[in-house]
A and B are shown apart, each in its own frame.
Chain A
Amino acid sequence: MAKPAVLTHPESLKRPAGPSEYAKDPVNASMSKAEKIALYTKMARIRHFEQRCIRIYQQGKIGGFLHLYVGQEAVAAGTISLLGKNDHIITGYRDHGHGLMVGMGMNECMAELTGRVTGCSQGKGGSMHYFAPDKNYWGGHGIVGGQAPLGTGLAYAVKYMGLKGSCFVYMGDGAVNQGAVHEAYNLASLWDLPVIFVVENNGYSMGTSQERSTAHPGCLAKRAEGYNMAWDVINGHDVYEVRAKTALALKRAHEESKPTVLEIFTYRYFGHSMADPDKTYRDKEEIKEYRDKKDPVLAYEQELLREKVLTAELSLQINEAAMAEADKAAIFADESPDPTVADITKHIYWEEDNRGPKTTSRGTIIFE
């Protein structure tokens, strides 16, 4: 078997998922039954949405890239379930899970993948560019690490306006070597900004393992020390652990206006994107090991069955409903219209989309 993906995975990841050590943590123990079921449901919905996308992609209906979140659900689910009114999120292009977690609908998300005008970006963004500003979700970004300064700016704005809030900046293990990320780390720490950098370490930047891309021998989060920032590592297959440790970072953001780097160890079952044949950089045994023994959605189901919050029948209902919802969304996406040629030149400039007594500019702004 090839060397494991991530050399610095915590001990807890080396054994199969079992009862969570964090179930009794106040942030989890205080959840009502309904909240726990809702959290499980959201994780299951992400799983089923993503899996339904595969078939649509293989039918040639999704162009461009499709970066699936399957296997990483607990990261988005655990962190986003803690968000309050003034907590914002921004991520890279593996963004479907985050979108569904903040409450975007499967219909608009699926329709965006097939480029329809009923999509969440009216067919103008695609898979990598889901946005829901009314839900504090600022994208969906395609350039690795480019979202880090943006998210730092969102936190800056929250602080500027005197609000108690934060911005979660999600990125992959490959992003931590981008210059923009380092600049963002420095600014967040220097200016005491309430940023929570979440490194979703799934072991591989596309096909390049952490060992082959990062000089620092320790975990990725430890480099936060170079920027005088707090950091922590989290087993991302345990949604309770994600919640418990993230809650501490959130408290630091809200009460001290200081940033944190959280490295959440997770795994993706599918390739980097659907275009990745996934043949050269990891063993099938490794994927099977995670699927069978460390699946975050299954782990939480087991946890809730143990807690007697879920029953087998309820779990089945939840999963079947999620599958049905995804199927309906696929039909919606298929039957929706495309944007028009006239739509191509809309939504470029706010001033053009909102021409009125207050807009003052003139002249030609769209050229032929």
Chain B
Amino acid sequence: MSVGIEEFLTVGALLFCLGLGVALSKRNAIGVLMGVELMLNAVNLTLITFSRFSVSDRPITGQTFVVFVITVAAAEAAVALALAVSVYRNRDTVDVDRINLLKS
């Protein structure tokens, strides 16, 4: 019994597609954000997989990139959730299909 790079990459790809489906189909803006977080996690998993399995002089680069992705994801989550709370105060809803102020 053994697992190789293909299995890990498959899990990453499936999780990315799940996140994409969540991000595109949820009505609630916070739900959309959850989909984005899932996609970021899937990408992190893929980066770590390549860092572990790929033939490379400096495999640590994959882990370094993951550190930056996590940092940017944290910043993005903080700002986006603050935006969601702010929109809720003004519009009493965070449904993405009802935030249509710019629609004529």
Check if A and B associate: no
